[in-house]
Every structure is written in structure tokens, then in C-alpha cells.
Amino acid sequence: MSPVTDNLKGFSVTFRHLFRKPVTQQFPEYKRPVYPRFRGRHRLHRHENGLEKCVGCSLCAAACPADCIRVVAAENTPEERYSPGERYARIYEINMSRCIFCGYCELACPFDAITLGHDYELAEMSRDALVYTKQMLLEPGPEARRTPVAPVDPYDIPAQEDGPA
Amino acid sequence: MATVETDTVTLSINDREVTVPKGMSLVEAAAEAGIEVPVFCYEPRLGAAVGACRMCLVEIEGIPKLQTACTTPVTDGMVVHSHSDRAREGQDAVLEFLLINHPLDCPICDKGGECPLQDLTFRYGPGSTRMTLPKRTHTKPVPISPLIKLDRERCILCYRCTRFSEDVSGDLQLVTEHRGANSIITTFEGRPYDGEFSGNVTELCPVGALTSISYRFRGRPWEIQNIPTVCGECPIGCNTYATIREGQVARVLSRNNPAVDDGWLCDRGRYTFPSLESEQRITTPLIRGGRGLEPVDGSTALDHIADRLRAAVERFGPGSVAIIASGDQTSEEAHLWARIQEQALGGGPIVCGPEGGAGWGELAAHSATIADLDDADLIVVAGATDLVHRAPILELRIRRAVDRGARVVTIGAGATRLDTLHAAEHVSAAPGTTHAALLAASQGVALKGLSDRSVILWNGRMSAPVATVLAHVAHASGCRVLPTPLAANELGCQAAGLGTHTPAEALEAVEQGRVKAVVLLGADPVGGWPGGDRWRGLMERAFFALQVSPFQTGSSGWATTIVPSPMPLEKEGTMTNIEGRVQRLRAAVPPPPGVLDGIVLAAELGRRLGLDMPDQPPAVFADMAGSRAAFAGLTWAGIGERGVRPEPASGSGQAPPAPHVAEGEPEGTIVVGYRQLMSGPTVEGAPALHFQRRSGIEISHDDAQQIGVATGDRVEVSFAGASLTGAALVQRRLRRGVVRLATAVPYVGPGELRAAPEETADA
């Protein structure tokens, strides 16, 4: 084999490809479908009555290997009810710049409140904007219905009396 | 033949031979052998085991049925299997039964992640349930006090909480109602659980049934850090964990140190942490100028203070600056301030606490440890008020000693909680003459049997005559004494040199015109010390009055410069507790922005005054160990998690001088005003605790009859130039002529009691 034939052979491959249809997909115009079990941006779900499924138990935060979930729980009151039960997530934040989309949070959730969806266009101009708040993650739905709940009858506590000064 | 050992037995647990003392329960014997028997209700600190939860079932050869290991004492030659098929079957069945009615709301439950029931369900139990019927339901959660909520669905009826209430704290407020499967835990007559030790039940509860309201939904075990530190609220120095979530203290737990607190913690120590974020806190240095107190930055304030102190010494000569400390400072802060006073300001008076601590040195040779109460066969508690207000956790130890068979003799005005113990004997003494009564009792029959197995707890103000009496009695009988200081680190401050004068001596120096400037370290002499008017006079006339305090106090109005200081949960350092144990305080959270660390403040000030001072806690401790005899030989690293108690000076061994005690009983009404446990700025900053405040004016039965009032009627007490009206609380066992009430300023002295006119309808 001479160097000349080797080179010609190589160039022929290049030239052949010049006349083929390109495989490039025009991304913003054309979005390739993802597989059904693709793990993208998280969603927080609601019950049918509009209450949040998340109770703020922090198990997702415990499972998260990237330590990107922050949950601060608080107590539901009869006036402000967000979830069934006593507890709800007052703050629920996912730092998307840290998330590795492993889906452990979804596995850990005892109420199927969090799932990973199919969105993957998450680029932002600043890192701060990548911290997703509960409002951003919560699926759009009917505004949580303020389920009226009777207050606990504090029968174990008599009215406080002011003692003498 | 070897003699048969009678006080130990040898048995086999899971084919492992173990030799343990006679009378031990099987659970403990198994633990000795390194074998875990699962338990819920078993807790040795609660007294005898009850076998309520049945979780500890084990198989014992020769006994046809499974036995509860916690209630079965070991016997010689016993053959026990805790992991045999039958034992496992029994344990699994118990867990399945416990979970029949236990709601599976672990994601919501605060105990989730640190729950013994959760943990044991993972390791034992069938893993699934056959229960298909609906679970028992209750109203939940029910607040049983402003501090604690009860979720009856989660309760597994282990009776730990009721046993604590009955056997340990003795308040008898948590009880069980109804029977069998319908049993519920409730408070006695549905009243709020009002006891100084109520928070302990939240820690004892093996499920999430009793939870602290302040920690509700604040964090999960994997989101928190537990910082081992020491409570800075009283001189016991109970060991605690401060739980930190996102830079804030979320709760305070006890950290069992058997030598100090035995794993208990009072509600003041547990629930005053919200005062860290109290609105009353000072967060920036303030200098009084033309328009009142104006905020400045830290270095400006330090420059100003150094300049004023230097000017005071130049203008009025050395010794013209008085330091008035509260005794809540760490020993390191105390050492640095003492050095400033000694080396830069010419050695003016230093006062530590309103009681001023004369006479402590005399008692060093006789000092008892807290653990001595466990071995004592006679405990003498001398003082006019309840022990709980000065040294709360000691009450639990005394109760346990009584259960063990110790005698308790109280000397004082009577009608304290310790007087209600069945083993208590009482020697009545007029307030102010308690030490005389103690001396007389020790020579008479009342304290017969005072020996080296006795402890005298002096629950009151320490002074030179008291110390002489205590030293004399201790020397004569060989008993040990445990006087209670008022402030958390009073002993450490004094050992570090902060405390050379009593308040009376300092006031004398002030009124002779020797003191022209004053530094208040956490102290509030105007608002909270006896002789407030005289202290106010000093501050009004002072050339310079500096206040270093976390909170605005009654003295702030007269301070010309105010510098904020951190609170105990924000400090690194050491504190010396009631028995002389040096314990480490660790900063759980940083102080608020604008608040200088106490050590840095003192060190920076010292540098501005020309002293070479270290500003890191270990270096300060080393400096202190090098120059203060009480800390000699101690190292920062050597303090460890449990603290160290240096051996107290042995004393000369010579008999102390015979005390001279004034004869005669005081005439007329004596008013005892005491600082109650739930008082002070930290309690002010924790509103949930306020329901535990005691109000009411305790008067004796005879006095009540004389002025014609009953409990609940309004009475008026005048003392120290003021008068107070409140509801009378007639105490049958209170000494005649004694009126006892909680006041902001401690007071013992003459007063007057009369029935107050009925309140008009303006309230």
C-alpha cells in the first residue's frame, strides 16, 4: 500500500458523506421525544381536591445524594390548610444546578408527591434562578381548597388566668 | 473448695456465660453479655421495671411460657434464649399487636427517624400486618400544656411518662384514664401539665405521642446537628445537646451525665432557647450621646470604652472602677475581665452576683459532689424556699434517695415540696436564722446520725456566718456540704478572680466616693439586686457606666455605654458548676450580627488598655490555668464531654472557729422574696414557659386566720418600702409569721401583712 492510495481512500469517505442527508436535529425547532421513563425536571403533585400531596417529611432530602433538596415543614391550621394531615412543606426548594436527576427523591417519597417529569430545558442565566421554589415545582391545578377543619378542642387547657403582678 | 460467691450469679444467655450481680434484671444481664433484648417501657432511671410493653419476651428453659426480661431477676444457672424461634415469635407478635392501633403516619410524625418503635419494627416484627380493620382513633394532637402536645393514637401505653410523673418528678400530673385497650394518657383532671420537669416526658416517650410544641415539624434527624454543650441557666450545669437546624437552635435535649443530671433536664433549661431570638436582645453597641443611646460599630465602642476607663483611672486614681458581674459569664470571660481590673485599672472592687459569695473558700475542704446524694443516708436541706428555684434538678436526686431509703431533714420555713416527701422530717426555722437552727439541730436530736454519709444542701444565700456554721458542722460530724450558688457560673467566676468583694463592701466603697466608674457584666443591680436604690445612685453619679448584657434591663436606663453580649448557647468556654465541676460550653449558634463574642470583647478591650491578652478560648483557658490556682493543672482538651472536677483543696484539717450565732427569734412578720425558677430575661424571652410561673402570696394558716383570709383572697404585703397585692395561698405547714412570695429582687426581712380590700371591678 502506498501513501497515495491510503489518503485517497480516506478522502473518499469524507466526500461520500458530503452527499448524505445530515443527522443533525434543529433543537429548538424540533424536540426529540424522550423515553417514557426519562428523568427531567421535578413536579410536585396535588390531590384531586387541590391539597398538596407533599407533607414535608424530608425523606426526599434524606435520599438525595446531591443534597440539593431543602424542606422546611410547618403545621397546617384550620384557616391555612395545604395538605392532608398536620404537616406541610412550608418551603420546598430544589437546587437544579446540583441535581443529578437520579430519581431517588421519587423513590423515597411515601406519598408519590414528587416525580421527575420530561422537561429538560433548564438553562438559566444565573445560578440563583436554578433554585426552584415550591411554587415553581407544584403542578398547576385548582388552588388548594381550604378544607374547613374543626379546631382541636383544647379541653386539657383551661383558659389562662393572669396572676397578680 | 472455693467459697461460693453469694452476691453474683452465673447464667447463660444465648449460650453465652455471664456472671452478674444478684438481683439484676435479665435485660441488664443480657446487655452485660453484649446481647440486645428489645425494650420500650424499660428505663432504669424510672425505678422498678413494670413489664408494660411486653417487647422484651425471652425464653427461659424450665419455664413453659415466655417471660419479660425486664421484670425477671437473674438466678443461678438460668438458661435464657432471646433469639430462639419461640422468643422471636413472641417478640414479633408483640410488635404486631403494638402496631395494630399505631398509625403509620411516620412521614408526619416528629419522632420519625429517631423513633424506637420505628427502629425495632425494622429489626423485629413480621414486616407486614394482618390487620384489615380500621384503627382506633382519637382527637389529635391534644395540647396537655403550652409546651407539650399529646397524640393518643400513637401512644403504645408503655407508661414511661406516667411513671416519670409519679416516681421521678413526683408531680402526679400525668395519669392513665380508663382500662385495658381504652386506656389513655391524660393530665390529672384535665389541667395543664404544670411541672418544672415536664419536658422530660417528650424525651422518654418511645413513640411520637408526647412531643414538644416548640420542636413540632422543625427538623428531621438527618437535617440537624446535636451540639454537646452545658445549660447556662442554673449552677447545676446540666449537660445538654443543642439541636441546630439551619443555623438556629431548634430544641435542647438532655445529654446524660450520671454525675450531674442523670439525663434529666428542667423546663427552664429545655425551653428558654427561643430567648436567643427575643426582641429584647441588644444587637448593637450603644453610646449615650446628645440624643440618647446611639448605635455605633464595635470598634468605635471599644475605643470609647478604653478611652473612658483610662480617663477614669487617670482622673480618680487606680481602683476607681468597679466591676459588677452577674456570675453568668464563662470562666474565660471572667478571667480576662479580672485581669483588666487587676492589671489595667488598678484593682477596684469586683462583685459577683447579688449574694456576693463570701465564705465559699472555707467550705472547699468539705464540699460534696452531686453524686454524693445517691449514697447519702441523711440529706439535710436547709433554706427558706423550695430547692427547685435554685437547683431544680437536685430535687429529682433527693426524691430518688428517699425511694432508696435515705432520710431527709428540711430546715427552714416549711411548706416546701420536699416537706411533702414521706421520709421528710422538718425543723422549723425563721428565715434568716436557718444557719442557727442548723447548728442547734446538729447538736441536738433532730440531726442525730449526721455522719460522713450525710450531705447538707444549703439552699440559700451564702455568707460568712453561714459558712462558719457549715464548716463547723461538717468538721464536727464528717458530713459534706453542697451550697447552692445563685448564678450559673458563680463558682467559676470567683475562681477566675471575678469576685473579690461582696455587694455590701462594694456599696461601701461607692458611698465613700472611691468608685467613680462602673462596669456591669450581665448584672442588673438596679432592677434585680437588693439595695437597688443605692446601686442606682452609683450609676447616676458615675463618671462612666458600661453595661455588657444580652438584654435591656432595669439598669440600662443609667448606662452611658451598652455593649451586647452573647448568650450561653452562643459561647465557647467553661463553666464551673455547683460541685466544682469544670464543664465545656460549646457555641451552638453564632451570636447575632453586631454582637461581639464575650472573650473577644474583653481581649480587645485589654489590648486597648495595653495588656497582652489571648482571644481564643483554649488560649485563655491555658492563661487562666497558669495564673489561677483553682484551674491549675487543668487543660482545655482534658475537660472532655463530661467535664472534670478538680480535687478541692483539702484544707488545714484544723477545727474551724466555733460559730457565734445570735440568739433570739426575729419578731413580727418576715417576708421571704425569692427569685423563682421561671423568671429572668431568658424566661421572658420564652412566652410558652410563662404558665409555669408561680403567683400567689404564701401565708401560714395561723396568720390567715388572724387577718381573716382564705386561699384566693387578696392580701397586701409591704416590705422594703414597697407594697404588693396578690392572691393569698394559705399553707398549713408554713411557719407562723412567714410570708413567702416570688419577687424580682431577693429579699429576706421584716414586712407587714394585711388583708387587702376587695378588688374593684376595673380588672
Interface check for B688 against chain A (CB to CB < 8 A): the answer is no
The answer to whether the Cβ–Cβ distance between A55 and B223 falls below 8 Å is: no
CA pair distance A121, A41, nearest whole angstrom: 9
Q: What is the pLDDT of residues B285-323, one digit of tens each?
A: 999 988 889 999 999 999 999 999 999 999 999 999 999
Element (H, E) at A44: strand A42-44
Give me B218's grid cell: 422543625
Nearest Cα neighbor of B271 from B569, B60, B655 is B569
Tell the burial category of B363 from Cβ atoms under 10 Å away from its Cβ (0-12, 13-18, 19+).
Answer: buried
Distance in angstroms (rounded) separating the CA atoms of residues A20 and B50: 86
Cell numbers 482538651 correspond to what residue? B637
Rounded to the nearest angstrom, the minimum Cα separation between B325 and chain A is: 28
Which among A61, A74, A153 is the nearest to B217, CB-wise? A74
**Contact residues, chain A, for B187 at CB < 8 Å:** 156
Q: Convert the pLDDT of each residue in A56-71 to its tens digit.
A: 999 999 999 999 999 9
Give the H or E element holding residue B748.
Answer: strand B747-755
Contacts of B140 in chain A (CB under 8 A): 152
Per-position DSSP letters for B46-85, written without gaps between them: GSS----S-TTEEEETT-SS-EETTTPBP-TT-EEESSSH
Indicate the pairing of strand B142-143 with strand B148-150.
Answer: antiparallel
A139 in contact with chain B, both atoms CB, cutoff 8 A:
no
d(CA B81, CA B61): 8
Convert the pLDDT of each residue in B94-124 to its tens digit.
Answer: 999 999 999 989 999 999 999 999 999 999 8
CATH 3.30.70.20 is held by the domain B136-277: yes
B201 backbone dihedrals φ, ψ, rounded to 5°: -70, -25
Nearest residue in B to A63, CA atom: B222
Task: Report residue A44: phi and psi, to 5°.
Answer: -105, 130
CB of B712 closer than 8 Å to CB of B728: yes
Upstream peptide bond of B681 is cis (omega within 30 degrees of 0): no
Summarised one tens digit per residue, pLDDT across range B177-208 is 999 888 999 999 889 999 999 999 999 999 99
The pLDDT assigned to A142 comes to: 55
CB contact under 8 A, A158 and B695: no
A157 with B143: Cβ contact below 8 A: yes
pLDDT band at A151 (very low <50, low <70, confident <90, very high): very low
Q: Any idea what the Cα angle at residue B110 is, between residues B107 and B116, rounded to 5°? A: 90
Q: How far apart, in whole angstroms, are the C-alpha atoms of residue B621 and residue B573?
A: 8
Tell me if chain A has a CB within 8 Å of the CB of B135.
Answer: no
Sheet holding B286-289, edge to edge: B292-295, B286-289, B561-564, B544-549, B517-521, B321-325, B350-352
Query: Do A149 and A78 contact (CB within 8 A), yes or no?
Result: yes
Would you call A154 an interface residue with chain B, using a CB distance cutoff of 8 Å?
yes
Residues in chain A with CB shorter than 8 Å from the CB of B695 are 163-164
Q: Do B108 and A86 touch (CB under 8 A)?
A: yes
With CA atoms as reference, report the closest residue to B110 among B198, B199, B202, B208.
B208
Q: Chain A contact for B726, CB < 8 A?
A: yes
Q: What is the pLDDT of residue A148?
A: 42
Sheet holding B210-212, edge to edge: B142-143, B148-150, B210-212
What the block records as the C-alpha cell of B335 is 478571667
pLDDT-derived band at A22, boundaries 50, 70, 90: confident
Cα separation, A98 vs A107, in Å, equals 18
Nearest to A87 among B145, B190, B217 (CB): B217
Contact between B112 and A57 using a beta-carbon 8 Å cutoff: yes
Q: Rounded to an integer, what distance in angstroms lies between the CA atom of residue B199 and that of residue B210?
A: 9
Out of A57, A152, A163, closest to residue B107 by CB: A57
Decide if A61 and B190 are in contact by the 8 Å CB cutoff: no
Q: Does B758 touch chain A (CB under 8 A)?
A: no
Measure A106 CA to nearest chain B CA, in Å: 14
Please compute the mean of the pLDDT values over residues B374-378 and round it to a whole number: 92
Query: Is residue A149 pLDDT above 50, yes or no?
Result: no
Q: How confident is the model at residue B371 (pLDDT cuts 50, 70, 90)?
A: very high
pLDDT score for B229: 96
For cell 435515705, name the residue.
B406
- pLDDT (0 to 100) of residue B763: 42
Whether residue A164 and residue B191 make contact (CB cut-off 8 A), yes or no, is no
Beta bridge partners of B483: B458
Q: What is the pLDDT of residue B667?
A: 81
Amino acid at B25: S
Look at A111 and B142 and tell me if their CB atoms are within 8 Å: no
Verify whether the Cβ–Cβ distance A62 to B691 is below 8 Å. no
Q: For B210-246, give one letter per residue: b (16+ CB within 10 A) or e.
A: bbbbbbbbbbbeebbebbbbbbbbbbbbbbbbbbbbe
pTM of the prediction? 0.90
pLDDT of A72 reads 95
pLDDT higher than 50, residue B542: yes
Average pLDDT, whole number, for chain B? 91
Given this model, what pLDDT does residue A147 score?
42
Q: Specify the pLDDT at position A161.
A: 47
Select the residue of B142, B222, B695 nearest A156 (Cβ to Cβ). B142
Quick one: CA dihedral B704, B710, B711, B715, positive or negative?
A: negative
Q: Residues, chain B, total? A: 763
Instruction: Report the distance separating Cα B324 and Cα A143, nearest Å.
Output: 60
Which chain B residues are closer than 8 Å to A165 by Cβ?
724, 726
Q: How many interchain CB pairs under 8 A, A with B?
A: 80
Kind plus residue range of the DSSP H or E element containing B380? strand B378-382
CB contact under 8 A, B139 and A62: no
Instruction: Give mean pLDDT, residues B623-635.
Output: 93
Q: Which of residues 1-30 of A touch B (CB under 8 A)?
A: none
Interface test with A, best of B104, B105, B106, B108 (most A CBs within 10 A): B108
- Domains by residue range for chain A, with CATH: 48-138 (3.30.70.3270)
* pLDDT of B678 higher than 70: yes
What confidence category does residue A144 fall into, taking pLDDT thresholds of 50, 70 and 90?
A: very low
Determine whether the interchain pair A155/B141 forms a contact, defined as Cβ–Cβ distance below 8 Å: no
pLDDT at B500: 87
| Helices (H) then strands (E): counts for chain B | 22, 33
DSSP string, A79-99: SS--SSSSEEEEEEEEETTT-
3-state secondary structure B451-471: CCCEEEEECCCCCHHHHHHHH
- Residue extents of the structural domains in chain B: 8-98, 136-277, 316-356+491-626, 360-484, 669-755
pLDDT surpasses 50 at B1 = no
B145/A59 touch (CB, cutoff 8 Å), yes or no: no
Contact B701, B730 (CB under 8 A): yes
Give the span between the Cα atoms of A55 and A90, in whole angstroms: 9
- Residues of chain A contacting residue B150, judged by C-beta atoms under 8 Å apart: 156
Which chain A residues contact residue B186 at CB under 8 A? Answer: 156
**What is d(CA B177, CA B139) in angstroms, rounded to the nearest whole number?**
15
List pLDDT tens digits, range B564-575. 999 999 999 999
pLDDT tier, B364 (very low <50, low <70, confident <90, very high otherwise): confident
With a CB-CB cutoff of 8 Å, which residues 181-210 of chain B face chain A? Answer: 186-187, 190-192
Number of other CB atoms surrounding residue A143 within 10 Å: 8
Identity of the residue in B141, B190, B695 whose CB atom sits nearest the CB atom of A155: B190
- pLDDT value, residue B106: 93
B106: nearest CA partner in chain A:
A57
H/E stretch holding B727: strand B722-731
**Residue A86 distance to chain B (closest CA, Å):** 7
Cα angle B420, B426, B430 (rounded to 5 degrees) comes to: 115
Task: Answer whether B538's CB lies under 8 Å from B515's CB.
Answer: yes
The reply to whether B722 touches chain A by the CB within 8 Å rule is no
Q: Does B114 touch chain A (CB under 8 A)?
A: no
Test the B interface: residue of A157, A160, A162 with most B CBs within 10 Å: A157
Q: Is B251 exposed, middle or buried (0-12, 13-18, 19+ CB in 10 A)?
A: buried
Q: Do A156 and B223 touch (CB under 8 A)?
A: no
Task: For residue B722, give the 3-state DSSP assignment.
Answer: strand
Instruction: For residues B580 and B237, give the distance between their C-alpha atoms in angstroms, rounded to a whole number.
Output: 10
Judged by CB atoms closer than 8 Å, whether chains meet at B222 and A58 is answered as: yes
Residue B204 CB neighbour total at 10 angstroms: 20
CATH architecture of B669-755: Beta Barrel (2.40)
Residue B724, chain A, CB below 8 Å: the answer is yes
Give me the DSSP letters along B322-345: EEEE-S-S-HHHHHHHHHIIIIIS
Give the pLDDT of residue A106. 95
Please tell me the predicted confidence (pLDDT) of residue A153: 46
DSSP 8-state secondary structure symbol assigned to residue A6: H
Angle at A79 between CA A73 and CA A81, to 5 degrees: 40
Kindly state the average pLDDT of the residues B232-248.
95
Q: Do B144 and A75 touch (CB under 8 A)?
A: no
Q: What is the CATH number of domain B360-484?
A: 3.40.228.10
Q: Using alpha carbons, select from B15, B25, B10, B16 the residue that is nearest to residue B78.
A: B10
Strand residue runs (E) in B466-625: 480-483, 517-521, 544-549, 561-564, 573-576, 582-585
Give pLDDT tens digits for B713-763.
999 999 988 888 999 999 999 999 999 999 988 889 899 999 887 655 444
Q: Check CB contact under 8 Å for B141 and A86.
A: yes
DSSP designation for B412: E
Cβ contact B325:B352 at 8 Å: yes
Q: What is the mean pLDDT of residues B683-701?
A: 93
Q: What is the mean pLDDT of residues B391-407?
A: 93
Whether the Cβ atoms of residue B643 and residue B260 lie closer than 8 Å to each other:
yes
Share of chain B above pLDDT 70, in %: 98
Cell of B604: 480587645
Q: How sure is the predictor about B545, in pLDDT bands with cuts at 50, 70 and 90? A: very high
Residue A152 pLDDT exceeds 70: no
| Closest chain A C-alpha to B189 CA, distance in angstroms | 8
- Give the CA dihedral B58, B59, B63, B69, nearest 10 degrees: -20
Looking at domain B8-98, does it have CATH number 3.10.20.740?
A: yes
Sheet holding B225-230, edge to edge: B225-230, B239-245, B248-254
CATH of range B316-356+491-626; options 3.20.20.60, 3.40.50.300, 3.30.530.20, 3.40.50.740: 3.40.50.740
Of B357, B399, B29, the closest CA to residue B20 belongs to B29
Between the ranges A27-36, A148-157, B701-710, where is the mean pLDDT highest? B701-710
- Residues 22-81 of chain A whose Cβ lies under 8 A from any Cβ of chain B: 55-59, 61-62, 72-75
Tell whether A105 lies on the interface with B, counting CB pairs under 8 A: no
Judging by beta carbons within 10 Å of its beta carbon (0-12, 13-18, 19+), is residue A50 exposed, middle or buried?
A: middle
Answer yes or no: are the C-beta atoms of B409 and B446 closer than 8 Å.
yes
Helix (H, G, I), strand (E, B) or coil at A2: coil
Q: What is the mean pLDDT of chain A?
A: 84
pLDDT at res. B305: 96
